Amino acid sequence: MDLGYTLAGLVVGFLVGMTGVGGGSLMTPLLIFLFGVAPAIAVGTDLLFAAVTKCGGMWAHSRKGTVKWSIVGRMALGSIPMAVTMVILLDYLQVDRAKLNLLVSGGLGVALVLTSLALFFRRDMHRLGDRVKRMVPDWEAWRTPVTIAAGMLLGILVPLTSVGAGALGAAMLMFLYPGLPTARIVGTDIAHAVPLTAVAGLGHLHLGTVDGGLLGMLLIGSLPGIYLGSHLSTAVPERVMRPLLASTLLIIGCKFILQ
């Protein structure tokens, strides 16, 4: 089974390297459906997995100057306190493991559907953001509180599902900041995802819903997978990979919601 986890890490890491998204949205369902890992354990372990794997991406984007740190701060102002609040609530309410797994499964389904829609309509978010910017005279004044509110939504979704910090966060940034180049959207999104997944993952560690051995096996496979995927990212056109990934996430999300 250890080899299976490592191979799963390799495959997911490869896809993340090729597409830039899909870590939490692919790894968590894979652990649940393929390996039979309890939903709460899958989410908690995947959160720390994401925090570690995205650190390299944050460092690389920071060196390239493609991180808009002021936007990271605004998103984090909403997401980090909300993520801490969600973990405290789960701990305070003493939700038993069966109910927690049920809650996570439902939330995961919703998050996967939202993520798939964000992937399908990712390019449209730029155009929609431009329209809103032109239609709302005071949009610049409203953008900061809306950015904080977007962070709060991610702060609710990520601790419950491990999904949302990637594709959904990027879609939000594309809508709110349509003037930003794609490279800066990606870099900013990754930089925000690292502290958010780390805080949520450490919260799950406190709750006892992190499997350290599983985490290690996933990382052994994912790190070389990300390296290989990033070097082959031009081999498969984005117009092919992105709809395929979005369709897969939509099907998985509906399965979680309807089960």
Q: Report the candidate in 53, 12, 52, 56 with the shortest Cα–Cα distance to residue 31.
A: 12
Neighbours of 43 (CB within 10 A): 32
Total Cβ atoms within 10 A of residue 52: 17
- For the record, the structure tokens of 65 come out as 């100057």
Q: Is the dihedral of CA 121, 226, 18, 2 positive or negative?
A: negative
> What does the pLDDT read at residue 181?
82
Tell me which residue has tokens 């829609």. Answer: 117
Q: How confident is the model at residue 136 (pLDDT cuts 50, 70, 90)?
A: confident
If one compares 103 and 202, the residue with the highest pLDDT of the two is: 202
Q: pTM for this one?
A: 0.83
- SS3 of residue 134 by DSSP: helix
d(CA 238, CA 189): 19
Q: What confidence score (pLDDT) does residue 68 get?
A: 92
What is the distance between the alpha carbons of residues 240 and 138, in angstroms, rounded to a whole number?
A: 38
User: 214 versus 96: which is more confidently predicted?
Assistant: 214
Domain ranges of the chain: 2-258
Q: What is the dihedral of CA 221, 56, 214, 4, to 10 degrees?
A: -20
| pLDDT value, residue 190 | 84
Question: Average pLDDT in the 108-126 region?
Answer: 75
CA distance 172 to 195: 18
Average pLDDT, the chain: 81
